[in-house]
Amino acid sequence: MTDPLIISAVLAADAQDDLDAKRRRWFPSDRLHVGAHITLFHALPGERLEELQGALATLVERPRPSLHVGEPFKMGRGVGLRLQSSALEGLRGAIARRVADDLTDQDARRWRPHVTIQNKVTPEEARRTLETVRESHTEYDTQVDALALWHYRGGPWEAAGEFRFGS
């Protein structure tokens, strides 16, 4: 059995820089294996690599999706920022239909797009961070530049392809 695959959305550079800075500030450094990201799927079968590469290459033959980076929210032992993008939700739905028989319970659930800026901390620390982020964060609009496919190797992710919109 091959390692599972992750699909994420790649943000426009200014939004990526902003969210990476927030993540570096609040995410426990010993757990910071990847930068800020939008996970569309957490664990697709590695055996479907070539099929998914082809599907993603076709799905990005359109303009870049708009994305709203919204309000912060508490995530149990962390903090995230809510995201809104009907275009990205539609793309995720198209991929989900293609791999429906192979979705894990987590990936089959209703998708709630977000960026995690803190995780695996005490509830008290998460509450303090949420208060700070609520005071300092301004919602904004940006775009998704690409979809990325990754091999999950138990820590850092290994790139398996990046598929840019409109190319």
Contacts of 48 (CB under 8 A, 6+ apart): 5, 99, 102
High-pLDDT (> 90) share of the chain, %: 89
Secondary structure of residue 117 in the 3-state scheme: strand
Q: Is the pTM of this model over 0.85?
A: yes
| Residue 88 phi, psi dihedral angles, 5° rounding | -70, -35
Give the count of alpha carbons within 13 A of 17, CB side only. 3
Torsion of CA 113, 120, 109, 83, to 10 degrees: -10
CA 144-150-156 angle, to 5 degrees, is: 110
Q: In angstroms, rounded to a whole number, what is the distance separating the alpha carbons of residues 14 and 143?
A: 10
| Per-residue pLDDT tens over the stretch 12-29 | 999 999 999 999 999 888
Rg (CA), the chain: 16
pLDDT at 33 exceeding the cut of 80: no
Structural element, H or E, at residue 10: strand 5-11
Are 113 and 93 within 8 A, CB to CB?
A: no
Supply the mean pLDDT for the chain: 95
- Residue 23: per-residue pLDDT: 94
